[in-house]
Structure 1
Amino acid sequence: MPERRADLDPVQLGAYFALMEVAGLLRHAVEQQLREAGDLSWVQFQLLARLGLDAPDGSARMTDLADGVVYSRSGLTYQAGLLERAGLVTRAPSADDERGVTVTITDAGRERLAQVLPGHTEVVRRQLFEPLPREDARALSDLLTPVRDHMRSLPPRSASPRRRR
């Protein structure tokens, strides 16, 4: 039988709860701003940002988007459908995978992203970075990057088997 690892020590537990609380408070503030400024959910904003800022051609496969935004495939399909009905993205069969779907940001999607981005960055700056000196912001990045990379090294969510009903 494998040896059981010790429970989290008080420092680890405190860091965990602080991180979860900061993430929850920041997400709440960001979601409120996105709704007010552009009638977007957090996931919809992430999709538009990944397509409009990260993807050179403004397109990405749904599976890659689901892995990138850490969201279920079915939930992402629903959110992409809402964005498509609003004229902010288009969906089409993937050119390199007949089972895949490619999502592409439209000009209206780029306009909506440009509309919400200044307020979004202001909320993040005010909530997350304003109380930190520059060197602490750098240290925060240095601390979280290897944790994120470790978590991302695990199989992507899209590789997880689907649950049967």
Structure 2
Amino acid sequence: MTDSQPKLEPAQLGAYFALMEVAGLLRHGVEAQLRDAGDLSYVQFQLLARLGLDSPTGSHRMTDLADGVVYSRSGLTYQASLLEQAGLVERGPAPDDERSVMVTITDAGRERLAQVLPGHVEVLREMFLKPLSGADVTALAALLRPVRDHMRSSPPRSAKPRPRKGTASSR
């Protein structure tokens, strides 16, 4: 690396590596629990949780779900299709815009969510929260909130124009 290349301070690099390692280890533990307890992928759980816990109506637009779980539209469509085949969600046109697709959690989806939640919470407590005090958790949330908000301040992925095939990526 030459002196003209941008560098991170050791503390910045250490924070980045620690965050990525924690996220990777936690995701691995969560994914194993979800697979074992409910035959769900992490993304499928996120969809069910957003629909069943985060939405008063149990429904969301597909594009809003894709932006919320930070997943591609095509990938989310595939995951929603698997959940629909399993009877855990239903999809249909939005009442105010037939071009938009709404996803709604079913009673079976709520049951599956209730089945995996206790173990999910236990994994979070054991792997992530156990070494932290209540003050640490509050401080961590306060530190991560502005980072998340900064990252989400640009248009959501679904609102960004899609690159056209055959165009230069440097545009």
TM bin (shorter chain) = over 0.9
Structure 1 unaligned spans of 5+:
none
Task: Tell me the equivalent position of 1:93.
Answer: 93
3-state SS of 2:154 partner: coil
Return the offset for 1:5. 9.1
- Post-superposition CA distance 1:24-71 (Å, at most 9, x none): 000000000000000000000000000000110100000000000000
1:144 is the counterpart of 2:144: yes
Distance 1:156 1:132 in 2: 32
Task: Tell me the equivalent position of 1:104.
Answer: 104
Task: Tell me the equivalent position of 2:7.
Answer: 7
Q: How does 1:125-164 map to 2 (within 5 A)?
A: 125-164=125-164
Paired residues, number: 162
Distance 1:8 1:97 in 2: 47
Distance 1:96 1:163 in 2: 28
TM-score normalised per structure 2: 0.91
Distance 2:30 2:158 in 1: 26
Moved more, 152-161 or 68-77: 152-161
Distance 1:67 1:97 in 2: 18
Structure 2 unaligned spans of 5+:
166-171
Moved more, 155-164 or 145-154: 155-164
Moved more, 38-47 or 133-142: 133-142
What is the Cα-based RMSD across aligned positions, in Å? Answer: 1.3
- Post-superposition CA distance 1:100-149 (Å, at most 9, x none): 10000000000000000000010011101101111111111110011111
Task: Tell me the equivalent position of 1:72.
Answer: 72
Distance 1:118 1:152 in 2: 30
TM-score normalised per structure 1: 0.95
Q: Which amino acid aligns with 1:134?
A: G
Q: How does 1:26-41 map to 2 (within 5 A)?
A: 26-41=26-41
Distance 2:10 2:97 in 1: 49
